[in-house]
Amino acid sequence: MSDYCNTCSILASNRDEFLDRPTQDAHFHSFENHAPNPESPGSVLSGRDEKAGGTWLGINRAGRVALLTNITEPAKKYDSSRGALTSSFLLSESAHPLQDGVGKINSPNAMFAGFNLLLLSPALRPDGNLSYDSLLVTNHGSGGKITSRFLSTQERSCGGVSNGVDGAGGNEWPKINHASHDIGVVLRSSLTKGWTETNVTDHLFEVLAWRPPEPITDRSQLRDTVHVAAFPIMIEGSTEYVKPTFYGTRLSTVLLVRRDGTVLFIERDIWKLVDGKAVKPEPPTERRFRFNINVQTCA
């Protein structure tokens, strides 16, 4: 598998969140409001945010991928959930999912807290292999106008999505620069050293584990680290005293999609809340899924 990363699309992502936010582990579902049926597990593979009902990262059986990041900004409340943006795209049966997906998001009354949304849709090449069309959708901040753009050639080769504002320094966050550089090293090493799938995934999780020597103690420093070691933080926007809760990297996820439609999805637990304390399990627990995309259904 010396050409592994040359025949594979890769996504590596951390979910940084409050440790006490109710969350379901990754599983197949269809965003139903009842317990999943084991005999009919659904079309979407993702974790689920129990509070809002959506997800931050998922892939469906047709190979469509959605990744959501929240823009770092003062808290404001909106009736519309950002997590619903991913579910709408992943559940869509449209033959033109990128264009139609943006059309649904950009409705006249759509108002969201700040977000960046990466949408990936597989396309069947003349040689019978898969490639991905990609689109970044964002409102540039709370209540802003929703716009979209295709990724640049460099971003498609090796890029990142931060919690910053696209076009206003969001792509230059230290964590993005550091992770993009390290993933580039992984890609090149996989070609020159003949790495296996396990070599690739192990090194990608190492990329997601990077943090600077000085610990993060404030929300403003989150841009400086890929891995956020859990630390106590106050919830913004509260008018009453609320006991600080822990915030950190809850999950790391690595997604590999081979050109033949073979998918590997690994979700790994990083920080957990146990009896009110932030705990980093060693060795980490994880969930692995393998399935095949039906390439004939790709546009």
C-alpha distance from residue 209 to each of 12, 14, 171, 227 (Å): 11, 9, 19, 5
What local confidence, expressed as pLDDT, does residue 125 receive? Answer: 86
pLDDT tens for each residue of 238-251: 555 467 789 999 99
CA dihedral 246, 12, 261, 83 (to 10 degrees): 40
In the predicted model, what is the mean pLDDT of the chain?
A: 89
CA distance 102 to 136: 10
Contacts 24+ apart (CB under 8 A), 97-101: 97/64, 97/121, 97/299, 98/133, 98/135, 101/137
CA distance 198 to 200: 5
Lowest mean per-residue pLDDT among 34-48, 69-83, 94-108: 94-108
Residue in the structure block whose two tokens are 């069947």 = 124
Which amino acid belongs to residue 33? N
Closest by CA to 204, choosing from 154, 156, 256, 164, is 256
CA distance 163 to 147: 16
Say whether pLDDT at 267 is over 90.
yes
Confidence band of 55 (pLDDT split at 50, 70, 90)? very high
What local confidence, expressed as pLDDT, does residue 247 receive? Answer: 95
Give percent of the chain above pLDDT 90.
63
Say whether pLDDT at 1 is over 60.
no
Confidence band of 16 (pLDDT split at 50, 70, 90)? very high
Pair of tokens at residue 283: 């060795």
What local confidence, expressed as pLDDT, does residue 238 receive? Answer: 54
C-alpha distance from residue 195 to each of 2, 188, 191, 206, 208 (Å): 6, 10, 7, 15, 19
What local confidence, expressed as pLDDT, does residue 237 receive? Answer: 56
Pair of tokens at residue 122: 């597989």
- How many Cα atoms are found within 13 Å in the side-chain-facing hemisphere of 281? 12
Confidence band of 6 (pLDDT split at 50, 70, 90)? low
Closest by CA to 25, choosing from 59, 50, 48, is 48
Query: How many residues make up the chain in this entry?
Result: 299
What local confidence, expressed as pLDDT, does residue 110 receive? Answer: 77
Say whether pLDDT at 103 is over 70.
yes
Of the two residues 6 and 47, the one the predictor is more confident about is 47
Residue in the structure block whose two tokens are 């990041």 = 69
The residues facing 130 across adjacent strands are: 124
CATH architecture of 4-297: 4-Layer Sandwich (3.60)
Domain extents in the chain? 4-297
